[in-house]
Structure 1
């Protein structure tokens, strides 16, 4: 028998199993499920969504394949959730995996929502430990997501601690996902979410059959932290075990663009009504380093590049007083070109030093007559400090379902929300009529 102390994944499994789940946690989980599934159905109405549906024949044949398809669809429109401390989008990975496994097993209601809570917790805790250097090359949702999908699938497969650690080990060994796609705006980011969702399902299914995995996948000499995380903080995996569930600390995105653009969008939207056709001479955006690393894109040439352009997002918010799906299409990119060229971005405190615990920005506008107006956000709309209430989340879901041409959106919303009352698993109509 080994005298080694428990591994980090053994500790993570024990921590999650010990966390109590309240009715309010399940209600919150149902809202996050609604957000993720509405994103998936809306994602069908996009060029990459149509490619994915064609590839899958509109219905993936097994749970891992279905998790891949739904995960990829969920991450297309850039309106899915985001956990700040980990820089992980947990919903696009955990919810598709949990839905696929629960549907296969005939589970629903509380079983499904509890698995979602477990999955969010696992990937957010691992993501909070990877350090900031990891994110410069690796996409955290892709690399940390498999731990979340594996934990959710393990819960639904009723795996014991040893088998769950096997599942986490083999899920972590499948971690991958590089930011290189950003140079050309390739569709790779959607593949990241799909793979992270399916990897955990595969790992948990194999663990249920006795397929072993490395317990020290995180901290081992040839493990995840050593390979891809130069400034890893392993203690974060098991820190604050009595903290609220990570799902309840996850942000919801109101605007269909990279989350790093959101605090600047919020500030620009506050200033927009004060412009009233006034000539803008210059716009200065103060933000944090990661936002610049990912979203410094002065001349976006596609909708996807525009979603990752601080310059464009701020120009659109200032010029139109709104940000929606149309804000990133060719007419909007052309309309805002001149203003976009006047937007300068820079990292500055307090936003730079507060990241990743807080994601904030300030926008300063110099008008043609020399007047300066400015607004700032220490947190973005949709963060736990400035949350969307339940009505706003339902309204967002309804907007997404309309974009996805879902025939009876109200019925779908009701089906999802009854999960908190231990209701049946909602159908997910992937085939578009």
Structure 2
């Protein structure tokens, strides 16, 4: 394919045709387990209760709302988005007699969803991210790619699906400033839009080939200087980070740096945390009032480590918010220009207190400091237990995610949970 003669999504559609190696599929199962843990952990949330009261909503559609409620969903640094909560429900939710029930096909579909979502999200620039929720704007593309793969789409149908999904891309960050559930709606909307686009493309509906770079395309509307497309030799799911702590990823460098300084015996107030600009834009919140605000508070994250050690989900609940007020007041945050310069390739932080200083370049769960298989399984167990799943059912879920052979085993599991 001559790149000069084809649009960006045509080049991407061709790129997605590659076979998915077994080792990549095996890694994808860990991401599937991670997503299932995030869904299970959120099954008692308010948005889950709303979903359970709505008639005619299937288990995968319900799950599409829950993958990021606890802020523990997987994340890609340079694309600055969370692919798992979109790719998995899109890959698993395509049903019907004409669709193979084999889990390996769904794993391949999810890998392609990750690839499309990351490839497009990584082209967005700072102007885009300042206003647009990358997981939402790139998410429709990822869902369309995953669903198209599961449906057996050819290149032309995949291009149509990507073009249709991209033509209605959206998701504004305004929801960060209000106590609302729009972030979950963004993910569910991306899944529904992408899967619908794939189904219509299979039926013959066409979409704009130049939806990204065209004169009235997504880049023109939302970016100042979009990046070049990168079609990696490997599958980019391997670049995706697992999140060990139940907070915004931008707060994780602060948590990790604080844990390291605490281990050295040097963490005591007052504390100064220096980090990259976006971490402050999203998480400079000294007086959180709600669980969601606490998850987006660097001050609260560091206070947890000072007073309690390793953060647990209960440390972001209302009782902990009240109890840690004095510790939060001892935490100051500033921008570190060197950290801003290294971002988003590196999410770093520098913490200083009377007892010492620690500088952290990469965060736990990133490819440079990976969470291993046992760590992912332990995280999933903790999340499922938080969601009220009993030990036997947790073992069953882990077995299905890591060794199972049918999509219906996953959907049956979600049906019982939700």
Q: Normalising TM by the smaller chain, what interval?
A: over 0.9
Q: 1:185: how far off? A: 2.8
Partner of 1:323: 311
Name the SS of the counterpart of 2:94 in structure 1: helix
Cα pair 1:81 1:251 within 8 Å, conserved: yes
Alignment RMSD, CA only?
2.1
Partner of 1:151: 145
Moved over 3 A (4+): 273-276, 421-425, 430-433
Q: 1:403: how far off? A: 1.7
Question: For 1:253 and 1:403, how far apart are their aligned partners in 2?
Answer: 16
Question: For 1:286 and 1:95, how far apart are their aligned partners in 2?
Answer: 35
Cα pair 2:15 2:231 within 8 Å, conserved: no
Question: For 1:430 and 1:378, how far apart are their aligned partners in 2?
Answer: 41
Name the SS of the counterpart of 1:362 in structure 2: strand
Number of paired residues? 412
Alignment of 1:236-251 (within 5 A): 237=229, 239-242=230-233, 244-251=234-241
Among 58, 77, 90, the residue aligned to 1:84: 77
Q: Would you say 1:266 and 2:256 are equivalent positions?
A: yes
Superposed CA offset, 1:230-252 (max 9, x none): 2211x2x2x2431x211111000
Name the SS of the counterpart of 1:74 in structure 2: coil
Cα pair 1:416 1:425 within 8 Å, conserved: no
Question: For 2:111 and 2:237, how far apart are their aligned partners in 1?
Answer: 6
Among 366, 378, 402, the residue aligned to 2:385: 402
Question: For 1:326 and 1:423, how far apart are their aligned partners in 2?
Answer: 32
Cα pair 2:60 2:414 within 8 Å, conserved: no
Question: For 1:181 and 1:422, how far apart are their aligned partners in 2?
Answer: 37
Among 179, 185, 190, the residue aligned to 1:185: 179
Superposed CA offset, 1:314-343 (max 9, x none): 111121112111111122111211121221
Superposed CA offset, 1:264-288 (max 9, x none): 1011122235559x8x442111111
Cα pair 2:119 2:231 within 8 Å, conserved: no
Q: 1:125: how far off? A: 0.4
Alignment of 1:301-320 (within 5 A): 301-320=289-308
Cα pair 1:111 1:156 within 8 Å, conserved: yes
Alignment of 1:339-378 (within 5 A): 339-366=327-354, 372-378=355-361
Change (3 A) 1:108 1:287: same
Q: Would you say 1:164 and 2:166 are equivalent positions?
A: no
Task: Extract unaligned runs of 5+ from structure 1.
Answer: 367-371
What TM-score do you get using the length of structure 1 for normalisation? Answer: 0.90
Alignment of 1:58-207 (within 5 A): 60-61=57-58, 67-101=60-94, 105-207=99-201
Partner of 1:32: 31
